Amino acid sequence: MSDALVAIENLTVRFGDRPVVDRVNLSLYRGDIITIIGPNGAGKTTLIKAILGIQAATSGRIIRKKNLVIGYVPQHLSLESTLPLSVRRFMLLSGRPLAECESALVRTGVSHLLDASVHHLSGGEQQRLLLARALARKPDLLVLDEPAQGVDINGQAALYDLIRQLRDELNCGVIMISHDLHLVMAATDKVICLNQHVCCSGYPADISHDPAFIETFGRPVAEALAVYHHHHNHSHDLHGNVVDSDHSSPAISHGGSHEDSHTGCQHDHH
Amino acid sequence: MKIAIQGANMTIIDAILNDFFWRALLGGLGVALIAGPLGCFVVWRRMAYFGDTLAHSALLGIALSFLISVPLNLGVITTSVILAIALMLFSRNKTLATDTLLGILAHSALAIGLVALSFMPNVRIDLTGLLFGDLLAMNRNDLLWIYGGAALILTLLTVLWRGLLMSTIHEELARVEGVPVERLRLLLMLMFALVIAVAMKMVGVLLITALLIIPAATARRLASTPEQMAAMAVVFGFIAVAGGLSMSWHLDTPAGPSVVVTAFVTFLVVYGGAGRLSTRRSA
C-alpha cells in the first residue's frame, strides 16, 4: 500500500450533522483512472476536495505520497470580468517556464490561443486550458472536476481520450468526477458510485449490473449501459436501511463489490 | 562645489516641502502609487464595500486615538486591522451575508466614532476634514507616513504578486498549488488598513474607496494583463491627483472631492473614447 499516490481510510466529512462523505475507503495508484459518479449532493466534489487537501476531514485519514504533485482541473474558471488575463499570463502564473507552458498547450490542442484573452474562450477551450495548466506542473496525480462540462458531445469523447493518453504519457494517477456516464463507462478503468458512502465500485462492466448502481441511476440508465442482469445481494427497508447484505469487501480493487456500510443510502429499492 | 550643489538641492527640496501645494501634490502622488495596484485587488475581488467599511472605521480609530492619546495614524491602522480580522472571523460564520455584515460594521463604526468624538468636548477636530479630506493641510510628517507606507506596500505586493493574483483568479486552484491563501488575504487586508490610514488625510474617510476603485476601473478598459492594469491605475491615479489639485487651486474647490471628480471625469473619457474605438472588448 505504500506506493499508493493517495490512500483514503475511513474518510468522513460532515457539514453540521449531515455526513456528506461517509466512511469512504479508496486507494489510488500510478496509472489508475478512477471516475466518481453519483447523484447531485452525493459528496463527489467534497471527496475530491478532501483529496486535494482543501477540505478538512471530520474523521478518517488521507495519506498522500511524499512530495505528491497534484494537477487540479476545476469545474470552471469563473474569472471576474474586471480581471484582464491572457492565456499566456495565466499559464505563466503556474511558475513554469514559457516553453513548458507552451508544450502543455500544444498537448491539449489550444496552443493557437496563447495570446487570446481567457474571457473569450469557449467552454471546451477553457477546459483544455485548465488541463494544460495542470499538465504544466507535471503532476503525479490529476484531479478533474467534471472536465467535460460545457463541451459538446464530440469534444467530450476527445477530452476523455486525451485524459487517457496523458495518463499513459505521464504515468500519473487520475481521479475525476463525471456525469457523462456513457463516456465514462466506455473509457475509465474504475468507477466509484458515490452516494455519501461508496454505493458500489469496480469496473464498468461489473458495476452496471450492480443493484446499488441501478437504484441510484435508475434502471433505464443501467439498461442502456449493459444488458440488465443481476440478482439482489441485499435489500433496503422503508427507511433505506440494508436488511440483508452479503458484506462483500469494500476495497475498490475488488471489481463490482458492494460497500458494506450501506446505512445512509437514500435510494429506494424496487 | 559639491557642497554648494548639495546645498542648492537641499534648498530646492526645502522650498518644495515648505510649500503646501507641493506637499499636497507629493503626498497625493504617493497615495496614488499604492492605491493603483491595491485598488485593482479591490475591484478584482469585489471588495469595494469592504474598503468602505475599513474607511468608515477610521473615524472610530481617530476617536480612540484621542481617548488614549496615541498618534492618529497608529490609532487608525490599529482599528482597521482589528476590524479586518473581526470581519474575517465573522464571515466564516455564514449566517449573515457578507454585505449585510459589512453594512452593519461600516455604519456602526462610523456612528460610534462620531458619538465618541462628541464626548470629548475639549478635542477640537475638523470633522469635514476627516470625512472629505484636507489634502492641503498635509505636513512633512504625513509625507513620511505616506512614502514609508508606499515603500512597504510596494515591496509586499512585488514579493507576493503571483500568490495574490493566483488566489484572486481561482482560490482553490491556488490552494492546491500551495499558495497560502488565508495568510495572503490577511496581508492584503492589512495593506488596505495601511493605505486607508495614510490616504485618509488626503480624501477623507468617505472618499477613499473612490480613489481605490475609479483609477483601477478606468485602467481595466485599456489593459490586457493584470500587471498592465495595475500600472495604468497608478497613472490614472497620478492624473486624478494632479488634475484635482490644479482644479482646487484655480477654482478654489475642496481638494479631496476635486481629486475624485477628476478621477471620475477620466473614467468617463476613457470609457467613452475606448467605447468608440472598439466595441469588441466586452469582457
pLDDT tens for A48-57 read 999 998 888 8
Select from B201, B176, B215, B194 the least CA-distant residue to B36.
B215
Is the model's pLDDT at B11 over the cut of 70? yes
Per the listing, cell 475599513 goes with B54
The b-or-e profile of A166-186 (16+ CB within 10 A means b, else e) is bbeebebbbbbbbebbebbbe
Residues B2-277, CATH architecture: Orthogonal Bundle (1.10)
pLDDT of residue A226: 52
Structural domain boundaries of chain A? 84-138
B5: confidence class by pLDDT, cuts 50, 70, 90: low
Name the 3-class secondary structure at A257. Answer: coil
Find all residues with CB under 8 Å of B57, minimum gap 6, and list them: B79, B80, B83, B105, B106, B109, B110, B113
State the smallest CA–CA distance between residue A69 and chain B in angstroms: 8
Task: Report the residue from A52, A86, A93 with minimal CB separation from B166.
Answer: A93
State the smallest CA–CA distance between residue B175 and chain A in angstroms: 7
pLDDT of residue B107: 87
Select from A29, A129, A114 the least CA-distant residue to A74.
A129
Q: What is the pLDDT of residues B31-83, one digit of tens each?
A: 999 999 999 999 999 888 888 888 888 888 888 888 888 888 888 888 888 88
CB B61 within 8 A of CB B79: yes
Residues of A whose CB is below 8 A from B220: 82, 84
Is the model's pLDDT at A245 over the cut of 50? no
Structural domain boundaries of chain B? 2-277
Question: What amino acid occupies position A27?
Answer: S
Residues of B whose CB is below 8 A from A85: 169, 225-226
CA torsion sign for B171, B175, B179, B185 is positive
pTM (predicted TM-score): 0.81
Work out the mean pLDDT of chain A and round it to a whole number.
78
pLDDT of residue A159: 87
State the smallest CA–CA distance between residue A45 and chain B in angstroms: 12
Work out the mean pLDDT of chain B and round it to a whole number.
86
Q: What is the pLDDT of residues A200-230, one digit of tens each?
A: 777 776 777 777 777 777 766 666 555 333 3
Task: Report the residue from B162, B173, B225 with minimal CB separation from A84.
Answer: B225
Scan residues 19-58 of A and list those with Cβ closer than 8 Å to B. Answer: 49, 52-54
ipTM of the complex: 0.80
Percentage with pLDDT > 70 across chain B = 92
pLDDT of residue A84: 95
Name, of A211-215, B88-92, B215-219, the range with top average pLDDT.
Answer: B215-219
Residues of A whose CB is below 8 A from B176: 52-54, 70, 72, 143
For residues A40 and A100, the model is more confident at A100
Average of per-residue pLDDT across A89-109:
93
Which three three-digit cell numbers place residue B219? 485602467
Q: Does A67 touch chain B (CB under 8 A)?
A: no
B177, B184, B224, B282: best to mutate for the A interface, most A CBs within 10 A: B177
Q: How far apart are the C-alpha atoms of B39 and B260, rounded to whole Å?
A: 14
Average of per-residue pLDDT across B132-155:
88
Is the model's pLDDT at A253 over the cut of 50? no
| DSSP letter (8 states) at residue A113 | G
Q: What is the pLDDT of residues B226-248, one digit of tens each?
A: 999 999 999 999 999 999 999 99
B176, B212, B267: best to mutate for the A interface, most A CBs within 10 A: B176
Task: Report the residue from B45, B162, B226 with minimal CB separation from A84.
Answer: B226
HSE-CB for A154 with a 13 A CA cutoff: 0
